Structure 1
Amino acid sequence: MFILALTYVKPNEEADKLMEPHMAWVKEGYARGWFLASGRKVPRTGGVVLAIGNRAEIEAYVAADPFAVHGVAEYDITEVAVTTVAAGLELLKS
C-alpha cells in the first residue's frame, strides 16, 4: 500500500484554480482501481491518498496530477507493508 501525501507549495488559491482537473485525475485513479481513500489535510495544506498497485505506475500517475504538473503541490510517496488490518480491509495487506 502507498500513502501519497501531497503538500501545497503555492497558495490555496492556486490549487483552487486546478481543483477540477485534479479531481478528474483523482476519479481516474479510483477507476483504475489504484485509489482506496483520499481527502484534504486539516488544516488545508494539501491532501492524502491511500493507494495500491505497482510503485512505478503509481509514481508515473502521481507525476501526471495537474497539481504536480503545474508546481502547485509536491508529493511524498511512502510504501507501507501492511500486515494487520481490521475485518473487511484485507485488500490493504501486502
Structure 2
Amino acid sequence: MFVLELTYTAPVERVDALLEAHVAWLDTQYAAGVFIASGRKNPRDGGVILAVGDDRTRIEKITAADPFAAEGVCAYRITEFIATKTSDELAPYRQQLP
C-alpha cells in the first residue's frame, strides 16, 4: 500500500484551474481499483491519497500522469508501507510481512 502526499508548489489559483482534470484523473484511478481514499490536507497546501498495489514503479507512473504533477503545481512524496492491520472494511487490502 502507498501513501501519496501532494504538496502544492504553485499558488492555489493555479491548482484550482487544474482541479477538474485532477478529479477526472482521480476517478480513473478509483475505477481501476488503485485508489481507496483521497482528500485535501487542512490547511489546504496539498492532499493525500491512499493507493493499493505492490509495484512502486507503477505508482510513480500513475502520479506522474496527474495533471497537477504534469503541470508542475504539486510535488509527490510516495511512502510505501505494509498494511498488516486494517478495519474490517479494508480487510481485502491487508498484507503479510515478508
- Length-normalised TM-score, structure 2: 0.91
Matched residue, 2:70: 69
Matched residue, 2:30: 30
The 10-residue stretch of structure 1 (51-60 or 63-72) with the greater mean CA deviation from structure 2: 51-60
The size of the alignment, in residue pairs, is 94
CA-based RMSD: 0.9
Matched residue, 2:57: 56
Cα deviations by residue, 1:16-38 (Å, 9 ceiling, x for unpaired): 00001011000001011000000
Equivalent residue of 1:71, what SS? coil
Corresponding position: 1:91 with 2:80: no
Calculate percent identity across the aligned residue pairs. Answer: 51
Q: Distance in 2 between matches of 1:92 and 1:79?
A: 13
- Length-normalised TM-score, structure 1: 0.95
Matched residue, 2:44: 44
Q: Distance in 1 between matches of 2:87 and 2:42?
A: 24
Q: Distance in 1 between matches of 2:93 and 2:13?
A: 34
Cα deviations by residue, 1:29-73 (Å, 9 ceiling, x for unpaired): 101100000000001000000000122111101001010011100
Unaligned runs of 5+ in 1: none
Equivalent residue of 2:27, what SS? helix
Runs ≥4 residues deviating over 6 A: none
Q: Distance in 2 between matches of 1:13 and 1:41?
A: 16
